[in-house]
């Protein structure tokens, strides 16, 4: 019985796990870019980045979230950040 319950739980949640894994990996790609903004403090950067990620996730509820990195980039650009080529 325990094995059956675990199997059912695993099957029901594997899709969610895969979606979160993809989002995590895609967000990792966004964070690899270096963003700059004149007069920026680390605290402001962390706040703005978190807000952009939150807004992107909120905008993609019910989808697979593949567009999250693009939405985060758009949000950061709208806040006055520019990406720096490495």
User: Which candidate, 35, 37, 43, 69, places its Cα nearest to that of 55?
Assistant: 69
Instruction: Give me the domain span that covers residue 14.
Output: 2-84
Segment 4-13 shows an average pLDDT of 69
Predicted confidence band at 34 (pLDDT cuts at 50, 70, 90)? confident
Longest Cα pair distance anywhere in the chain, in angstroms?
Answer: 60
Query: What pLDDT, on the 0 to 100 scale, is given for residue 29?
Result: 57
Choose the weakest-confidence range: 32-36, 53-57, 62-66: 62-66
Number of domains comprising the chain: 1
Beta strand residue intervals within the chain, DSSP E: 34-36, 82-84
Q: Does the global pTM surpass 0.75?
A: no
Torsion of CA 22, 78, 32, 63, to 10 degrees: 0
Q: Using the predicted structure, report yes or no on whether residue 15 has a pLDDT greater than 60.
A: yes
């Amino acid at each position: 019985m325990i094995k059956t319950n675990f199997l059912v739980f695993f099957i029901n949640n594997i899709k969610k796990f895969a979606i979160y894994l993809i989002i995590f990996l895609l967000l990792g790609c966004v964070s690899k870019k270096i963003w700059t903004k004149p007069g920026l403090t680390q605290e402001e950067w962390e706040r703005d980045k978190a807000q952009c990620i939150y807004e992107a996730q909120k905008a993609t509820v019910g989808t697979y979230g593949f567009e999250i990195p693009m939405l985060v980039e758009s949000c950061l650009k709208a806040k006055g950040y520019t990406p720096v080529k490495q």
